[in-house]
Structure 1
């Protein structure tokens, strides 16, 4: 199948063969890429990667014109100076080594975020504290590009924390070099009018590991799409997600895990809870085990808990295997309401129904909160879930 030519990291533009527009994309691995926004039409909702997204709510983000990021976002990096590198221009070192825009918002973010924020953990170094990037919206329209690079045999956790209000297209480029162990956590606690369209693209090299955690607890439309390639022999990735969608919110993640090198290990687990009329979540999980990925062990799962009438969760797991020489591969998806037996068991021991529901939801989502590896953040997530449940009871 014809796909877009991949442009080099020097800023040269790719192109999409016009004939490809008449050929439907059958698998996630065939999706076209280009650095030029003109190669991507305005989404209509009929495209395979947009048909589960409320595209009519995205128009304010998909504007092809330069913006002053400082007017729209307040960005603060808490990290030692040695971890922060200058990244000026589209041809800056490392930028574009991994990242290839695959939709209109990521191409716009590439074009208009001329300078990137680059975090690099030096080789053989362990960051004692999480590196934190706070991104607070001021109500405007913004683009940005962030590079997170773990040099060989380094260890670090990087937290991206979003709040406030913004119309925001964001690219995050992640590189875990040989033998490194990197954790990237992105938290979305936007105001109800915010729109956040994020593309995270990562490469994991030989014997390296990446833990990637998406926590979406606020925003009008939040779409965080992680794409991870296990390129090196012995590399591994753990991709986790937690979402709590309230009335009027659309929280979405399209996850792509590509086993490219031999003897790689992948684990994908996303969990979501929904309450309130028109609360909606979307999870699409694609796993590709390539022809050279012998010895692969991979599993993906999505679980959703619907708390009220009118809420809806969409869950679509996909698995593509190009070699039979693997240790194992599988996927699972489940969406449902409270387990009546669990509630009965708790109530039979003197626990009220509302408290029993709280315990069930916290137990369900708490597993993912623990994956962040940041105790203070875990406590904040639990408190946020409890506040959401209290609002639901009040309604």
Structure 2
């Protein structure tokens, strides 16, 4: 007599919620990237393969910064207990950086800091590199920190931002790399009770730039305002993947990213994930992405996502739009005697400058507006040729 045993098939269920994604500090724990994964399928993987899997220089690098009262800038050992407390890599490139870095650049904030602190990285070179930055804001502190990246680079990094109770911190991540630079950055923020984070991503330079800000609203009454502005030229890939996790009662978030695209092969990607957890009663959240297409041959992917695990919220929503230049705005300005080229410049600047003007530092805002004007001038030159 024979016995028949039916073996039940094994199914791999997809991850159902953003918070359930696999996390690890070790590069080897992640499967090889094929380019078909949800977190990689919109990225030019072959152009950044060396940062995902290659050997990286994890040594300290030159940084420039002014002496600003109430702040410290120092290199700390990777064994420092604060490292890893804001977040954990969710993909292979971030884990490669975490595995390889030797020391972390620590930027500390204490008390009311009157002047902006700008930390400039301009000498990273072309060698593939791993980096780690830790920004800490003490309880009840207030400051504006700018991480200014420029020059040549091939870098994958993790940035941790930790806000203690009642802290009010603005962090500007500025990417003005050389045209052939490669930059992958996973940025994790943990916001404590009654603390407020304003996080601003400005991406203008680089061949492939992918910045993934992830914010954990961990304390009751915590707040995050996540802003971004970007301008993609021909064959330039600029990508942002934003994640906000409401994990405490009465937390609030606002996400606004705006971008422009000009030139053949210009590509932007924006993915916005908001998760309102079961403990996050009284949450107020809204995210939006707007893209302005200035020429043929461009592509903008914009994907907002919203998960709600409690019904007791103030409100939640999302919006996304990608469109061409508004001819009505152009006609309005031309009807008042403004030449067409100048009218176009004014409309595009008006669209993008909304984000820049919310930084709160006049000198930096003026510099970025000049950079946007330069981008537009370059776009006009290409169109004329």
Larger Rg: 2
SS in structure 2 opposite 1:218?
coil
- Specify the alignment match of 1:168 in structure 2: 155
RMSD: 1.7
* 1:348-392 superposed Cα distances (whole Å, 9 cap, x missing partner): 111111111100000000000112212111111111111111111
- Specify the alignment match of 2:246 in structure 1: 259
For 2:171 and 2:356, locate their aligned partners in 1 and report how far apart those are by CA, in whole Å: 13
5+ long unaligned stretches in structure 1: 1-19
Q: Does 1:24 align with 2:11?
A: no
8 Å CA contact 1:213, 1:371 repeated in 2: no
Q: State the 1:76 CA deviation.
A: 2.2
Superposition map of 1:311-326 within 5 A? 311-326=298-313
Relative distance call for 1:386 and 1:85 in structure 2 (3 A) is closer
For 1:282 and 1:247, locate their aligned partners in 2 and report how far apart those are by CA, in whole Å: 15
Q: State the 1:342 CA deviation.
A: 0.8
SS in structure 2 opposite 1:133?
strand
Q: State the 1:79 CA deviation.
A: 3.9
Q: State the 1:84 CA deviation.
A: 2.6
8 Å CA contact 2:58, 2:101 repeated in 1: no
**Paired residues, what number?**
372
Q: State the 1:143 CA deviation.
A: 0.9
For 1:66 and 1:352, locate their aligned partners in 2 and report how far apart those are by CA, in whole Å: 51
Superposition map of 1:1-395 within 5 A? 22-67=12-57, 69=59, 73-80=61-68, 83-84=71-72, 88-122=76-110, 125-136=111-122, 137-395=124-382
8 Å CA contact 1:74, 1:138 repeated in 2: no
Q: State the 1:83 CA deviation.
A: 3.0
Relative distance call for 1:82 and 1:381 in structure 2 (3 A) is closer
8 Å CA contact 1:119, 1:147 repeated in 2: yes
8 Å CA contact 2:89, 2:95 repeated in 1: yes
For 1:83 and 1:114, locate their aligned partners in 2 and report how far apart those are by CA, in whole Å: 23
For 2:377 and 2:31, locate their aligned partners in 1 and report how far apart those are by CA, in whole Å: 42
8 Å CA contact 2:76, 2:106 repeated in 1: no
* 1:249-283 superposed Cα distances (whole Å, 9 cap, x missing partner): 00000000011100011000000000000000000
8 Å CA contact 1:258, 1:290 repeated in 2: yes
TM-score (norm 2): 0.93
SS in structure 1 opposite 2:149?
strand
8 Å CA contact 2:125, 2:154 repeated in 1: no
